[in-house]
Structure 1
Amino acid sequence: MGMLTNRELVIRFRSLGDVHRARRIESAAERYEFHVSKSARDLYGLSGAPFSTSGGVVFADYGQARAFAARINERSDLAGGAGPTVKAGAINAMALIDEILHAVCDMYRQQVDPQAFWKAVTGSDIAVGPAGTRTGLLTFTKIFPPSAVYEGKDTPDGWLDATPPDATGTRPGRNAVSMEELLLLRLENENPAFGPYRFLFDDRPLKARAPVDPMLDAAEAALKALPAFGPDGLDLPSLLRAPMRASPHSLAGQLAYMKRHWGLLIGDRMAKLLGGEGMLDEEERPVFPAGPGPVRAPTYASLDHEYERFSEDKDWMPRVVMMAKSALVWLDQLSKAYGRDIRTLDAIPDEELDLLASRGFNGLWLIGIWERSQASRRIKELCGNPEAAASAYSLFDYEIAWELGGWSALEALRHKAAARGIRLAADMVPNHTGMDSAWVRDRPDLFIRRDVPPFPSYTYSGENLSGDGRFGLWLEDHYYDRRDAAVTFKRVDFRSGATSYIYHGNDGTSMPWNDTAQIDFLNPAAREAVKERILHVARNFPIIRFDAAMILAKRSLRRLWYPEPGVGGSIASRFESALGTEAFNDAMPAEFWREVVDMCAAEAPETLLLAEAFWMMEGYFVRTLGMHRVYNSAFMNMLKEKKNAEYRATIKNTIEFDKDILKRFVNFMNNPDEDTAVAQFGKDDHYFGVCSMMSTMPGLPMFGHGQIEGFTEKYGMEYRRAYKDEQPDEGFVRRHEHEIVPLLKRRYLFSGVEEFLLYDLVRNDGSVDENTFAYSNGYGRERALVLFNNAWERSQGTIRRSNPFMDKRSDGSKATTTRSLAEGLGLRQGQNRFMLMTEAKSGLRYVRRSEDIIHGGLSVSLEGFQCQVFIDITEIQDDDTGSYAALCDSLGGAGVPDIGWALQDLALAELYRAWKTAFSPEFFRLAEEEPAAPGGTATGTKAAINREALVAFLSVAARFAGGDLGTSAVEPSVETAAVLARRLEAMADACLAASETAFSMLRANSKGSPKAKTSAAHAALSARIQETPSAAEAIAGLVALLPIAQLAGALAGSAKAQALAESWGMARKLREAFVAAGVDYAIADRAGSFAVAALGRLELIAGEKASRLKTLEPGAAAEALLADDEAGTLLGVNRWNGETWIAAERYRLASTLFGAAAIVLGGSETAKVEKKFVEFDAALLDAGWSLDRVIAATAALKPVAPEPKAQAIAPRKQPGKE
């Protein structure tokens, strides 16, 4: 923004015939600016600088001020940095202050006394004599020479004696002019804010050679005797010192004083003053590190004056869970992981998409898929990184990169992802393009540019980065040696010869993005062009992430590129393009983002618009501008630093203003340009607590590339590959799958805000524990409660009532309100009501009295960084027996794996104690021990099963069974106690005998087989047991259930025995007993289930129907199995490809268990059982484990169905099915 020089103005006014005004300008040039001594001009080579005829500096524009400063700094650099460093803004400000002071003097002459400074000369003559005055003024002219004197065109005496044009006095010569200059030189040296630059105008050499101080003292006294002037009625010397006294140490403060107090005195210099302020402000503005900058809790006061226009979510939008992937790096990692070349988007393995979907992700953000700037890549090569790609945010155009397979590869990936419920997300970079983009080539008018470099130090002599013979592009030279990051690059159109300097993209927080070109959003054509590109992306991606979206808000564009007059831009040199408010709003009437949101709502309504926005503008972006989602950097930054009170304030302030803002936050633990999540949060409880919060807070959780795998490398936007050879941390991954993935799959519970409430954890002393986050949420009738202590110290207290929130009612009214925890969890008043809830991580279920929560809240105790997420919250009414009350009291606040089990443990406590006494822990360890010496197993079994305790268990069990037995065998009312005792003892002896036989089969070298001639078959059976997982445990489990079979009517009542065992939860009790004995949980669980199932089918292998086993053929067995739902489930029977199949390992377990049971209970010969095994095994192997083929093969051999088929057991339903 250039200004005409005095010479240009004189020529212009003379051409217009305004000679008087031209002469006044010539006269004003005599006293215009701050002074520079001859010695400083010589030392710093300032002979060619813009000096006026009086010798002071004249800056016709800001470029001259920068050039003046650059010459001084260049000479200082040549001196090894020993000299001073100056700032152009300060130089310009000092010249401007002196110019305005001269203008005040000129106005004083015009309005008060034209002879004022001649009277000052007279005062000096009286004090030091005319000769003394002459000496002082002449010495001043020599040390601070006018241009004609410095250049040798005039002598000091000649210049001083000459009368200037349009002189105001009647006396000849320039004494009055020089006296004014000398007085202002004194003020310059007095001014503390001028102090750092005194080397330019130091008056001490002058004072050493002439009586300057007494001269000026007398001159000031003469001026003070004249009439007062100005808005405050001051004498002229006091008026000239007023800015300095108001703000002694600040040039900006002195200019501000002049602007506020001297508006009428400044007149048409106001624009120049504002420009000077802007230049100074720009230089003094602090530079912050790149990124969102300091994060603090929002207050939303400014939004009270903004309109509310949230965009409506489509039904899928609230539940998006997004994973970020740097495309080139990911493809390289996949190539290594799968051992094949994976370079294009369509080559991403299905397994990877399956894995993402299985972990709860339904949004995949692909970073770096657009065609990138080749200039960006070349810059990185020139700076020493030959492997680098261009930055993912320096784009040539919005076309899918050819190296990723182009649009066809994207379409293939989109189809595969959609089949798994995954939507693709892409970046849109609206603020800038690559410096060699299609627009820079063809439409340079869309960018912010200028005709000359903004700073004289800028040079552009490096490599032409264009790659297009029609035009050239040059990065500023100092970028390559890391000495500067210039704000512009050079573009030359070789066809027209036009040269322009285009600004780089910039957010004002740190350095410019030197491989980009800044779009000019005050240009309507540029805005329309960007909107067209946005719509192009929206039509191809259901989720768009707008990079650095906050830059394009009007307030940001104003601050960065078109600041208010008098305010420096956040980007160097932009104060020159200052615009008044009206002019700015005329150029950009509406918010760009509001127009974009409305356009997409009409043209691409299924697109989720996600804005990366910082600078406390998050609420504005979603509430007023209408973005669906906005970055919430406070989540990462505050929780990382454990600034818990600040983040709680963030949530509280947000929901108290408008809960719908919270719903639209994107929460993350790292951003692509931030350190990795594990670098910031570690891999332990702090990480998983924060990650659990991210997974359960309203909004959109976003995971970084490699976050779940625990990768530590931060992938640069130019990376083609990972430079660290990292493998997934399997333990870290498993913990995600156990703790985080289940939460992500319940996002419907957490994503909304309709039921969201935040609570204070109140300590016993009444203070609030700010380190603990406690909040509830829900969907429909489901509720969840989250507790997280984000500190090392233990946390303990009570949560009772929510923090205030804004209740937006259906009639449009609003009111701030709170709710109790009981209301938040959906609890109702009433006696004997209990709340049940599951802690997601441990799986434990908890019981709390509803009345306790309603009246006293919920007591909470959390260790450091402990997180608890309670789901499946329900409320029940206690039964008539008070079982839930008893359970609640017995647990004392502890959790249990299953409420039903816990109630069962409580109700059947006596039965379980008796059973555990009968079958000691040693019994269940026998199945796991090494084979004992001959005879040792029997001894061990007797020790493990106590006969007396077994009889006692049978007695207790008979009582608990009651009428369910359906038999008079154990009814005390029918038989005498003595007879009953004998019966129970007989049952116990039968069980003991069976156990002896069973355990003999578990040892290959045991001598306890029923018949010596079957010892070889016995050994084979024992080997089969040892080789079959869970077989030994299942056999032992069946033995432990035999007392129930005895009670149920021996072998004839096996179905009733199974029903009784199931009602008593014996499969669970067997599992618990085996696990306590050191058995793997999965083996113990399968053994318990098979043992109970076998208990219900003993009649097939023992008793009256036992003979069926000898004649049962494979086909009949297969048909019987197909008719038995429960057995089919246990054995993994399934339909696939039109056939019915059985799981081989499960069949082997069942057959081994039944074979052993046949020997133990039915007296079957081991050799015959082994023969049946061989027959059945062969049939299934021949059939490839297809039951249909077994049946068909049997039918082909024997067309007539065998008799056992007609006697097949009735179909069974799975437990729990109607």
Structure 2
Amino acid sequence: MPDPRYPSLYQINTRVWLTGLSRALGRRATLDDIPDAELGRLAEKGFDWVWLLSVWQTGPAAQAISRANPGWRREFEETLPDLEDEDIAGSGFAIQGYAVHRDLGGAAALARLRQRLQQHGLKLMLDFVPNHMAPDHPWIDEHPDYFVAGSEDDLARSPQNWCRLQTKSGPRVLAYGRDPYFDGWPDTLQLDYGRPELQQAMIAELERIAGQCDGVRCDMAMLVLPDVFERTWGIRADLFWPKATEAVRRTHPEFRFMAEVYWDLEWTLLLQGFDYAYDKRLYDRLREGHARPVREHFCAGPDYQEKMARFLENHDEPRAAATFAAEMHEAAALITFLSPGLRFFHQGQFEGRRKRISPHLVRTPAEAVDARLQRFYDRLLAVLRRPAVRDGQWQLLECVPAWDGNGSWDCFVAFAFEGQAGERLLVAVNYAPHRSQCYLRLPFADLGDGPWRLKDLIGDAAYEREGSELQARGLYLDEPPWRAQVFSLTRREG
């Protein structure tokens, strides 16, 4: 089944989910134990994709590093004051092999879960980590040249970025996987994209993954771009992503690629075969709390806008409920998820969870549900299920001063959706900590004479306005701080 124009994705921490199920069942749960009712509930909420985080095999080497690292352990204890070693499984991104973890039930259990997802109209997304592998990956012995090698001088000069590892061919100094702006991740080893044989091996891994799911989220996808890789390691590399995405789509033409990407390299990766790219820039602008940069962000063309993955939190970012005050959270959510592109939600977001769960952990602390926030998200998800919002025409709206000298018009961000069946929605947000006024220019040429009804689908307000006034001047808004509204616009008959 093809995706809608603007699909929705729900990210689940697989190991945390199964830990909760294990406690309820009194035994170790696998993917087969995920209740069918839960999958149906996700479909009913309007999701098209489920991203299962951390399903691949991890090993004892990375786990031991995670448990022993004092900085990480302090972070884990802040999340879980009653932390035990069993809670630390090792990072799901320190992959020992692209096989479904044996504790999750293996490949057969994933295949059965994928079939159940398909029965509910849901597609499955999994992880692909191009930059590095775990230190006990079989390639360490079988293909040690696949990894970036260094010297004893490198190790002495930068021990935070290099390690000495014993392999079947003898001891080697190898690089930790890293981002050029930070120290290395000591539970990983850096792959060498300057080697064509490594690139082919990673393409083969992707092709095997593509037989088990419908799409992949590619971790730190920009790190293997040739210029980034050379800047980090001084090693020249050929382009990887165009070859990889083309190879997968020869066998799986509908397969989807989503890039975790930063540093304004979104368009670069979209041109190299990705379907979606993280919109971290929008997230950062929303956190800053100023409307104009947010509004200007939406001036890019539709070919860019519709390929953005919009989020308010994920496993890397702090929880939205801990980042945004309540009213600001709702305003930011309406802007994020009622813009074009992929709507990307995170497990625990709807309930207002405040504790970020590290991908090293397999347990979450008990937290109270924020009932107000949950009601808000229930209403927002109902809006997102509307045909006009899933498949309609989106556009940014112009806001103009309500009167001369009133600059608060600049605090509004507004959109419109129009569906094929004539459904019309207006999204209006006063993204400011003070009351603001404006006239909102409407893009509809047929408002004419007669009354129109505006019903807020997020709140309870309802208004009637004359079509001729809406046509001539626009919709007048006078809104308190952070007010976010979604109006259905319908002609009142009689």
TM-score in terms of structure 1 length: 0.38
Contact kept? 1:697, 1:751, Cα under 8 Å: no
In 2, Cα distance between the equivalents of 1:604 and 1:545? 16
* TM alignment of 1:1050-1129, pairs within 5 A: none
In 2, Cα distance between the equivalents of 1:456 and 1:429? 28
In 2, Cα distance between the equivalents of 1:552 and 1:521? 7
Shift of 1:751: 4.9
Q: Which moved more, 1:728-737 or 1:790-799?
A: 728-737
Structure 2 residue aligned with 1:760? 399
Structure 2 letter corresponding to 1:433: M
In 1, Cα distance between the equivalents of 2:26 and 2:4? 36
Contact kept? 1:635, 1:669, Cα under 8 Å: no
Unpaired runs of 5+ residues, structure 1, are: 1-313, 459-475, 477-485, 563-576, 578-583, 801-820, 884-1218
Distance 1:614 1:323, change over 3 A: same
2:222 alignment partner, one of 531, 550, 559? 550
Structure 1 residue aligned with 2:475? 858
Contact kept? 2:4, 2:390, Cα under 8 Å: no
Structure 1 letter corresponding to 2:60: Q
Structure 1 residue aligned with 2:33? 347
Structure 1 residue aligned with 2:388? 749
What does the per-residue CA deviation read over 1:257-305, in whole Å, with 9 as the maximum and x for residues that have no partner?
xxxxxxxxxxxxxxxxxxxxxxxxxxxxxxxxxxxxxxxxxxxxxxxxx
In 1, Cα distance between the equivalents of 2:28 and 2:136? 29
In 2, Cα distance between the equivalents of 1:595 and 1:835? 53
In 2, Cα distance between the equivalents of 1:453 and 1:532? 34
Shift of 1:594: 1.8
In 2, Cα distance between the equivalents of 1:833 and 1:333? 56
1:523 aligned to 2:195?
yes
Structure 1 letter corresponding to 2:470: I
Structure 2 residue aligned with 1:491? 165
Structure 2 letter corresponding to 1:690: A
Structure 2 residue aligned with 1:734? 375
1:326 alignment partner, one of 13, 16, 31? 13
In 2, Cα distance between the equivalents of 1:750 and 1:558? 42
* TM alignment of 1:286-297, pairs within 5 A: none
Distance 1:355 1:340, change over 3 A: farther
3-state SS, counterpart of residue 329 of structure 1: helix
3-state SS, counterpart of residue 764 of structure 1: coil
Structure 2 residue aligned with 1:719? 361
Higher strand share: 2
In 2, Cα distance between the equivalents of 1:341 and 1:615? 44
Structure 2 letter corresponding to 1:706: G
Structure 2 letter corresponding to 1:670: E
Structure 1 letter corresponding to 2:137: S
Contact kept? 1:755, 1:779, Cα under 8 Å: no
Distance 1:649 1:319, change over 3 A: closer
Structure 1 letter corresponding to 2:192: D
* Aligned-residue CA RMSD (Å): 2.3
In 2, Cα distance between the equivalents of 1:861 and 1:409? 55
1:788 alignment partner, one of 407, 429, 433? 429
Unpaired runs of 5+ residues, structure 2, are: 74-84
In 2, Cα distance between the equivalents of 1:347 and 1:410? 11
1:618 aligned to 2:266?
yes
What does the per-residue CA deviation read over 1:831-890, in whole Å, with 9 as the maximum and x for residues that have no partner?
x3443343212355433222222221221122111111012x3446x7xxxx5xxxxxxx
Distance 1:317 1:612, change over 3 A: farther
In 2, Cα distance between the equivalents of 1:551 and 1:649? 28
In 1, Cα distance between the equivalents of 2:101 and 2:465? 58
Contact kept? 2:313, 2:320, Cα under 8 Å: yes
2:329 alignment partner, one of 684, 687, 705? 687
Contact kept? 1:396, 1:437, Cα under 8 Å: yes
Contact kept? 2:399, 2:438, Cα under 8 Å: no
1:627 aligned to 2:274?
yes
Structure 2 residue aligned with 1:1168? none
3-state SS, counterpart of residue 646 of structure 1: helix
Structure 2 residue aligned with 1:440? 140
What does the per-residue CA deviation read over 1:955-999, in whole Å, with 9 as the maximum and x for residues that have no partner?
xxxxxxxxxxxxxxxxxxxxxxxxxxxxxxxxxxxxxxxxxxxxx
Shift of 1:743: 1.6
Shift of 1:327: 1.1
What does the per-residue CA deviation read over 1:122-164, in whole Å, with 9 as the maximum and x for residues that have no partner?
xxxxxxxxxxxxxxxxxxxxxxxxxxxxxxxxxxxxxxxxxxx
1:532 aligned to 2:174?
no
Structure 1 residue aligned with 2:47? 361
In 2, Cα distance between the equivalents of 1:375 and 1:770? 54
In 2, Cα distance between the equivalents of 1:512 and 1:769? 46
Structure 2 residue aligned with 1:776? 416
Contact kept? 1:451, 1:499, Cα under 8 Å: no
Distance 1:753 1:433, change over 3 A: farther
3-state SS, counterpart of residue 350 of structure 2: coil
- Structure of larger gyration radius: 1
3-state SS, counterpart of residue 686 of structure 1: helix
In 1, Cα distance between the equivalents of 2:491 and 2:255? 40
* TM alignment of 1:815-834, pairs within 5 A: 821=442, 824-825=443-444, 827-828=445-446, 830=448, 832-834=449-451
Structure 2 residue aligned with 1:378? 64
Distance 1:499 1:340, change over 3 A: closer
What fraction of aligned residue pairs are identical, expressed as a percent? 26
* TM alignment of 1:44-193, pairs within 5 A: none
Structure 2 letter corresponding to 1:692: L
Distance 1:415 1:707, change over 3 A: same
Structure 1 letter corresponding to 2:416: S
3-state SS, counterpart of residue 154 of structure 2: coil
2:319 alignment partner, one of 676, 688, 692? 676
* TM alignment of 1:205-244, pairs within 5 A: none
3-state SS, counterpart of residue 328 of structure 1: helix
Distance 1:769 1:731, change over 3 A: closer
1:697 alignment partner, one of 326, 339, 355? 339
Structure 2 residue aligned with 1:839? 456
In 2, Cα distance between the equivalents of 1:770 and 1:381? 50
In 2, Cα distance between the equivalents of 1:853 and 1:741? 28
Aligned length: 478
Shift of 1:636: 2.2
In 2, Cα distance between the equivalents of 1:631 and 1:651? 15
3-state SS, counterpart of residue 416 of structure 1: helix
In 1, Cα distance between the equivalents of 2:344 and 2:366? 24
3-state SS, counterpart of residue 322 of structure 1: strand
In 1, Cα distance between the equivalents of 2:150 and 2:266? 33
Shift of 1:784: 1.5
Contact kept? 2:46, 2:381, Cα under 8 Å: yes
In 1, Cα distance between the equivalents of 2:308 and 2:220? 15
Contact kept? 1:551, 1:557, Cα under 8 Å: yes
Contact kept? 2:338, 2:389, Cα under 8 Å: yes
Structure 2 residue aligned with 1:505? 177
* TM alignment of 1:1032-1051, pairs within 5 A: none
Contact kept? 2:311, 2:337, Cα under 8 Å: no
What does the per-residue CA deviation read over 1:49-69, in whole Å, with 9 as the maximum and x for residues that have no partner?
xxxxxxxxxxxxxxxxxxxxx
3-state SS, counterpart of residue 414 of structure 1: helix
Distance 1:342 1:798, change over 3 A: farther
3-state SS, counterpart of residue 533 of structure 1: helix
Structure 2 residue aligned with 1:66? none
Distance 1:866 1:703, change over 3 A: same
3-state SS, counterpart of residue 707 of structure 1: coil
Contact kept? 1:379, 1:515, Cα under 8 Å: yes
Contact kept? 2:39, 2:117, Cα under 8 Å: yes
Structure 2 letter corresponding to 1:326: N
Contact kept? 1:332, 1:343, Cα under 8 Å: yes
In 2, Cα distance between the equivalents of 1:760 and 1:592? 44
In 1, Cα distance between the equivalents of 2:141 and 2:336? 44
Higher helix share: 1
Shift of 1:358: 2.5
Structure 2 residue aligned with 1:593? 241
In 2, Cα distance between the equivalents of 1:550 and 1:451? 26
Shift of 1:740: 1.5
Structure 2 letter corresponding to 1:377: Q
Contact kept? 2:6, 2:340, Cα under 8 Å: no
Structure 2 residue aligned with 1:797? 438
Structure 2 residue aligned with 1:396? 96
